Each structure stands twice: as structure tokens, then as C-alpha cells.
Chain A
């Protein structure tokens, strides 16, 4: 019988577990990435790729900075205080996490045209691309900061308040949560590298676009693989100094500091300024592209088309989302068990998962196609099914699940496992009776959150979907070239409304669970 105390002891098994997990997460991309080293062209990444990389850096830095400036104060305020309309505003600010980035770019482009602004205006080119990515980044920073704030110890907040009032609370909480906010800001910048959509639409092409050219115009998988690896390497080099600075804080920030967590409270000064601040950020990041995106729907709402597309794709969309959530969470749990108790492994795990995350989604999807094509036909239910799509999506989004579960695992005191071992409880019983029920809520949060983000994917689904099994966003994506603007807007509106409802339901459920568990 294996003792549960084994889970708390150091050993090489932790490192091996993390490496195995990272290999599993990166496995869809490996078949294509190994092509980078095939052939006789050395590590040629194509002429002019460095110029596009520089552009991507500009956009990445701009989007990250804007996201930090807008998202961090909002996350801090929303984490520390309660104020009117908070849930609604937070649900709306979560929308960019659930909606494909190209829709925001199209929204900005359509708004600029509708307003009669020049192509050199704020809403297009480099600035427009920064704005499109900042919508996503702001959400990431806001929620990372909010969660980090809510994980602060109640006693520490009380002490700060007694020592210097609310300003002191803000200063203390700001310092304590900055690593989480900065890490989310870094992630926002990384995402912009891999995603060519907004830059293509708004006229500011970056490295992601060049990879797309290698795939879609040159059909040169080897070149695309080398370019993807080059991005990963450069991002690693670029992010290293920041990770070095943030690393220790970050890996501790991921762990709850106390079992008695702070609770947000009402404050007269925030009851007015809180909604104003979140509303302002909502206006800047979301209202502009959303207005451009859905405005044409008010000239003609294509209800019949919405119903037809929803009927055809709703089942697939839900399947991809739920299964991706389950896969990401299932893969993350063993990795997290291996990494939680060792600060270096926690950081190594996060960095490795982020590097996988920065690869363009097409790399994983085309790698999976290559494997499926080489596999025998009897394996099709595994390698060429909706399940395959969801697995590839889930593996790509494992970092989200890992971050949520690292926090949860950190809250499980090591004494539980040692007590269980002393009382002769076996590992499986410990897992079944104690650890898994303790992790049930974060596991559910992870499944739902990954699921919602997965539904927004278009590249993976477009390339891997079994014929006739597209998702709602892919259906929007495939009609928008030539469909009337009002039809595209109607479908986009339907998806955004569905996303807002899902985000609201998640916020309500999350709050219910919090208050329930606090009783």
C-alpha cells in the first residue's frame, strides 16, 4: 500500500512528472516542430522575419502595457471592495476571454469605417492592433489581479487598514498582487505573438502573419515550424529577465497565504468610483469594438440564420468546450501534484506551459493531422473525431487549468497527508475521500473556464473538425468574407450575448460557491 505521505516528500518523481506532463501538453505540436530540423536548409527562418518579429514586439509590449494600466487597478478595486453592478461589469469585462480576437479587430475596423475616420486613425494599424489585443489582455490582468487580491490573508489586510487606512490597504494589496498582474500582462503580450488575426485585419502584420504566409501561401510546413520555434526561443529570451524578477514572487503568489482569506467589503468612496472605473475600462476596451461589430445587426437581424447556425453547431460547440475543459484539468492535476510543493518546479512548469501556449494553434492542429494520417483507420474514433479536436484544444489550454489548480493544491496543508499516513489510510483512499473532494470546486472552475475559452478557438476547430462538425465561432468565421455585414453582425451579436450569459452565470455561480463555502 502506498502511503499518502509520499505526495508530500521530495524526490525525482516530481521532476519526472512535470517533464512528462509538459511532453504530453506539447505532443500535438511535436510532429510539426520536428520538421524544423529536417531538410537541408539549416535553420533558415525566411528573409525579413526579423522585421515582423520587431513589429510583434511593439504590439506585444503596447498591448501588455495598456492591459496592465487598465486591468490592474480594476482588479485591485474589484478584489478589495464590493460595489453596485460589480458582477455585471466583471462578466462583461470577461467577454474578450471568451470571444475570438478577430471579432474585436473586425469590430474596430467596421467602427472606423462607420465613423468615417481615416485609415491612419487610432482604430487601425499598429494602435488598432494594440487595442484589439489589449481587450483580451485587460481581462487577463484584471482577473489575475482580482484572484490574487482575494487570496490575500484577512489579517494582513486588517493590519494594513489599521496602520494607514484604505490607502495603505491599496498600497499593500497592490504590492502583493503586482507579480500576478504582471505575469498576466506578460501572457497577454505572448498571445499577441501567435495570433495573426487582428494584425491582418487592421493592417499591421507581425510574426504570426509571417507564419501564416508560410503555411497558407507557401505551404511550407518546415519554414513555419522553424519560425514558430524561433518565436518561442525569442519569447523565452525576452521573458527570462522579467520571469527572473517575478519568479519567486509569482510562484509564492500562486499559493494562498492563509486559510482565512480576505473578504471584500463595501466602502463609500468606492461605491461610486468602482463602477465608474470598471465602466470606463469597459468603454475603452470593449464598447468600441463591440459597437462596430454589432451595429449592422440593428439594420437587419438575421434571426432565422442565427437559429439555423445555432441548431447546427451548438452541440459541437458545447462538446468541444466541455471536453477541452475536462482534458486540460485532467492533464493539469498530476503535473500540479508534482510541482506544488517545490517553488522551482512551480516556476519551471509555468514557464514551460507558457512556451507551449505561445506556439500558433495551427502548429498543434497540423501536427495532430499528420499523426492521424499516419495512423490506421481503426484509430479514427480517437485521432479523427470531435474528441481529437477537444484533446488538442484542452492540451493547449492546460496552462489555465494548471494556474487554477496550483493555487488550490497549495491550500491543501501537507499535514493532511501525514495524518492520513499515520492513521494507515492508503493513497487511493486519501485521494478519493479527501484530496479530490477538496479540489472539486477548483476542478469545476477549471473545466468551465477552459471550456469557455476553448469555444472561442477557430484555427484548431477549422483544421481538425470532423467533416460537418464545426463550432459556432467557426461558422461565423466561414461566412464573414462575403456574407452581408448585417448577417455577420447578427451572428457575432448572438455569440457575444451567449458569451456574456455564460460569463454572468459563471460569476453568479462563483459568488454563490464562495458565500456557500464561507458559511
Chain B
């Protein structure tokens, strides 16, 4: 019996050795993409790129749920000798942080010519395309039509006392939204908004997905989340609706994707080709037609009826280039303190 077990152990060791030796560390016809975009939306785009170019995409996705330590940390830690060619960010703030840390490299894609320059870095370190928006999601069983929210400020309105939720503003798009509010409202009013949210019985939950789930379940009447999160709830037949907030005021925060070429990337040519690919109108159309329901930045790109046009939304006027630095300061200061004081 022992002999047999010994043989099994020896076979396992052999398998491990052979497998590790046969591993190919690099191949010229590959491109390595780190992405904070949800895997279910990013992988089909990567597959199309593979089909069209014959370049194999090695995709490393991230997630916002349960808050992984994140690809941005991996990029920072790998700075001396990066493995990634491109970071496909779900928002421009992470892209701006990479720029400020010297991890990105400028690249002006020819495909970006007809994209609005407002949503890209002026130095070409990141280029914005297809966008999500921050929307107010509300439960139609709990909120009658006449009480429908219209502004982010409704989160602090007494009619939603103890019934509103936002995700932890230290993470994800909520952190970007917080930084945008500080930029647009000014530090004083923005701080007041956050404090009043707590005074009004608002709850901080773990993620935008959690906001969606718990508003859909009726734990909360309203919350603020991203359009793709809302669309998932809608497709699941949940009793929810969404409102683009502040259409009569400061506007809705638009969050474009951002394509970033990594400085010192192992396959920069393939990386540039991938960036060219995702910036094409066809990719914007594919993302609009997907369950992500992303908003094309180009007015000419066709999109399903359920997807709003950028021209139909009053967008918040934000300087995306400086948002990254501002968020880093806020995260280490007010937001960290606010979350520490008020989370469960």
C-alpha cells in the first residue's frame, strides 16, 4: 500500500515539474490586458480582437465586489518591469493615477480622432471611450411616481430618511463620484452632503452591485449606482427604475472607459493595436448593445433604445485629468475618516 502511495506522490511531483518547465513565459503574438471592466463585458471584446487580428489576448480581469486588492496595486508593484501591455480601466481616475505614478505611456491613437477630447487625457496617457453614468436607482414598489428622485441631493432628503444607500466611497466608481462632487460643489458643500447623508439615516454598503441588489430587494428605497449595474437589475425583472440625476442642475457624472498603454510594456505594438481596436466605433456599438448598456461617446454610433445618448444627458462638468490626484488626497483624508466614522 505504501509503495502505491509513494508512486502516486512521485507521479504528482513529476507532473508539477514537467508542467512548470513547459510553461512559455512570453510569445510575440500575444497582448496582455489588465482590465477593471467586468469580465463578462470585456471578454467578448477581447475575443473579437483575437478573431480579427490573430493576436492572442491574455486577459486579467478584476472585480469590485468584495474589493480585491486590485490590479492597480499589481500594476504599481510591477512598475519596474511590467507584464501588462494595456490597462483597460472602467473609469478615468485609475488611469490618471497610473499617469501620476509614471506607469503609463502617451499614445495618440488614430481611432481617437472623432472621440470628444473632454473625456481623454490632454497628454495622451489615457483615452476615453464608451461611458457609464452614475444614476439614482429606486424601487418602484417603495417610491411612488410623484416621489421619484431627481437629484443626488435627494439622498439626503427627509422623504428618504433611513431608506437610502451608497457604496463605500473609498472604492470603485463611487470614489470617483465623491471626488467629482468635491470638484463641482466645492469642498465645503461636498462635506456637508456626506455628513447630511449620515444624519438622514443613509447606509454605506460594500459595492455598487450591493446597492443594486438591496434597492431591488426593498432594503432601501433609493441608492446611487452605475448604469450597467442598473441594467442587470432591469434585465432580471426587478422592480427598479433609474434616473439621470441633476438634469436641471450640476448634471450627471459620466464615466468613460479609459485605455492606457503601459510604460515599458513587453508588447507595445500589440498593445497599441488593442487600444486602436477598443477605440473604434464598432467597439462602442458592441458595448452599447451588450448587457453593460454603455453610452457611446460618438454621436454617430448606433445604440439600442434603452441606452441613452450622450446628447440627451446633461453631463456633470468635471476636469477628469485632475480627478485622480484629488481623489488620492480625499481618500487619505476626508473620505477615509468619514467611512471610518460611519460604516458598520
Contacts and interface: CB of A to CB of B under 8 A. Distances in A.
Interface of A: 46-48, 51-52, 102, 105, 109-110, 113, 116, 118-119, 125-126, 196-197, 200-201, 203-205, 209, 212-213, 215-221, 319, 322-323, 325-326, 362, 365-366, 369-370, 372-375, 377, 380-381, 384-387, 390, 436-438, 440-441, 443-444, 447, 458-459, 462-463, 465-468, 470, 475, 477-485, 487, 513, 516-517
Contacts of A459: 68-69
Contacts of A436: 6
Given A113-B213, A326-B12, A482 B1 contact: no
B212 to A, nearest CB: 9
Nearest to B68: A462
User: Main secondary structure on chain A at its contact with chain B?
Assistant: helix
Interface of B: 1-3, 5-6, 8-9, 12-13, 15-16, 19-21, 23, 25-26, 32-34, 38-41, 57-70, 72-74, 76-84, 97, 170-171, 175, 203, 205-210, 213-214, 217-219, 228-229, 232, 235-236, 291-292, 328, 331-332, 336-337, 339-341, 343-344
Contacts of A373: 77-82
Given A481-B63, A482-B209, A366 B73 contact: yes
A381 B74 contact: no
Most buried by B among A46, A384, A459, A478: A478
Nearest to B42: A478
Contacts of B2: 437-438, 440-441
A387 B80 contact: no
CB-based closest 10 A-B pairs: A467-B58, A468-B58, A217-B170, A369-B77, A387-B20, A113-B217, A48-B340, A373-B80, A467-B32, A362-B69
A48 B13 CA distance: 47
Nearest to A381: B25
Nearest to A52: B340
Contacts of B60: 465, 467-468, 470
A386 B19 contact: yes
Nearest to B219: A119
Contacts of A323: 16, 19-20
A482 B69 contact: no
Contact of A319 (B19, B67, B68, B229): B19
Given A366-B69, A374-B80, 15 more contacts: A47-B340, A109-B213, A110-B213, A113-B214, A113-B219, A200-B67, A218-B328, A322-B15, A322-B16, A369-B77, A373-B81, A438-B2, A467-B60, A479-B39, A513-B1
A386 B208 CA distance: 32
Nearest to B231: A482
A459 B70 CA distance: 9
Contact of B340 (A51, A221, A443, A462): A51
B39 to A, nearest CB: 4
